[in-house]
Amino acid sequence: MPFAANKRKSTTTSGLANVFQSLPNVAIGTVTLLLLIAQIINGQNPPQTCPAVNDISPCVCQVKKNGLDILCEATDVFHINRAMTALKPKSPIIFYLKLRHNNLPKLQGFIFLALDIRHLTIHNSSLAVIEETSLSSLGKGLTQLDVSQNQLQNVPSSALKNLHHLLILNLNHNKIGVIHSRAFEGLDTLEILTLYENKISNIEPEAFRGLDKKLKRLNLGGNHLTTIPQKALAIFDTLKKLEVQENRIETITEGDFEGLRNLDSLILAHNKLRQIPANVFSHLKQLNSLELEGNMITYIDKDAFSGLEENLQYLRLGDNDLHMIPSESLRPLHRLRHLDLRSNNISYISEDAFVGFGDSITFLNLQKNDIKTLPAMVFENLNSLETLSIQNNKLTRIPEDVMEPVIDTLRVVDIMDNPLICSCDLIWFPNLLKELKNRDDEMTQKKRPMCTMVNEHREYFVQNMPLERMNCIGKSLGGALSSNKATMGITFTMINLVIGTMSACLI
């Protein structure tokens, strides 16, 4: 605020103080009123006070920085009405009003009349009906409304239409079956709408009309949808996150996501998808994160991720039915950082599996597959890899030359639950643990994979293998894999020279 305005306020307050001094016999009530006026002139909220405990019991009230925090729990409509009546004469700012675990089947009209409520929660209270006038007086102040875990069978459109400052609406865990046209009309400031765990099977084409100006996040997860409601969603060119997980969607087709040009995150996990066709995401040029885990995907078209080349960084394909890494589909994704392929049926990895898109990957999850061997050069292109999860596969050997290209960048590596055989090839693991300890990284330190000494019929922790009995000459002390690649380069050069000399002699 400009200096002159601050000066005027200070002068006004000072003037009122002089008035108080010159009127010693003014009634206390009048003085209090004048003080409140002074605070309002200075842009301050008047002090908030709770009603007497007996007046709002069994509800409880606390004074917080931004207003009152009121909780009414395990009670009924009579006591809630009584508490609201006790609050009205004080005209407080109620920053939080939480009505939880109550017997409140109907929210009556004008129940909040003359109250300034910013965040209203009516949770798990058997609420089935919200009368049209019950929320109408809250239109200028209410920014968050949570009516989750109740018995609502429809969106209470008429009660919501005057909430012109609402930012967040939570309708999770109700019994809504259909989203009718213009169900949210009037909520033109809404940014987050969550409808998780209802019974929604139909969303009419005009269902979200009026929400297209501000909405950033829409959660339709945990419902009964069998297709993407494309016509209803097409208006959302401002939407950043769309969640349609845990539905019954069997197919997605090109055009399903048309209009969502600013979408950053799409969650399609835990549906019934069997394949990802070509160009299905081609309209999502800004997409950064795509979650497809928990489906039944067996086939991914080579052009499935067309359009995502410039921005996609997080791709989750775990818990599907893939039998190989879909390398051809992934190659255009040159900005991919996080690739999750856990819990598939991958048994074979080709040597060029990560060629063309591996440079930027920092996280690779291959756990819970059926991988038996790792090709010698399989990780050669993973120049940025920091986390590698290959636990719970069928690996008996993880040769050091396989790990050599990523040993300098790895910070977390999990090889647990593989039928590993103790051999000199595994010395890279305890050596890596020493390096990670020097880097103050403890995550891998906590992993204690086992290997079997075949001739002893005994298991050892890999970091405690009996190297002296394994004939690992020259490896146990110096480290099979030095983090100094220059040194390794010299070593390999010397070996090549020796081999070359021996070959010459033999000739």
Cα separation, 150 vs 120, whole angstroms: 14
Cα separation, 382 vs 219, whole angstroms: 35
Cα separation, 281 vs 255, whole angstroms: 8
Query: How many CB atoms sit inside 10 A of residue 294's CB?
Result: 20
**pLDDT tens digit string along 344-403?**
999 999 999 999 999 999 999 999 999 999 999 999 999 999 999 999 999 999 999 999
CA angle 332–338–344, rounded 5-degree value: 90
pTM of the model: 0.84
Looking up tokens 């006591």 gives 79
For the residues 267-292, what does the mean pLDDT come to? 98
Please give the pLDDT value at position 7. Answer: 39
Cα separation, 3 vs 10, whole angstroms: 11
> According to the 3-state scheme, what is the secondary structure of 262-290?
CCCEEECCCCCCCEECCCCCCCCCCCCEE
**pLDDT tens digit string along 170-210?**
999 999 999 999 999 999 999 999 999 999 999 999 999 99
Tokens of 220: 């339709």
**pLDDT tens digit string along 219-234?**
999 999 999 999 999 9
Confidence at 439, pLDDT banded by 50, 70, 90: low
Residues 488 and 440: beta-carbon distance below 8 Å? no
Query: How many CB atoms sit inside 10 A of residue 65's CB?
Result: 7
Please give the pLDDT value at position 499. Answer: 38
Please give the pLDDT value at position 470. Answer: 86
Residue 55 has pLDDT above 50, yes or no: yes
Please give the pLDDT value at position 472. Answer: 82
| Bridge partner residues of 122 (DSSP) | 99
**pLDDT tens digit string along 37-48?**
444 444 445 568
Looking up tokens 């003085």 gives 31
Report domain extents, the chain: 3-41
| Bridge partner residues of 275 (DSSP) | 299
Cα separation, 44 vs 459, whole angstroms: 72
**pLDDT tens digit string along 112-136?**
999 999 999 999 999 999 999 999 9
Confidence at 438, pLDDT banded by 50, 70, 90: low
- Residue 221, by phi and psi: left (phi above 0), alpha (psi -120 to 50) or beta? beta
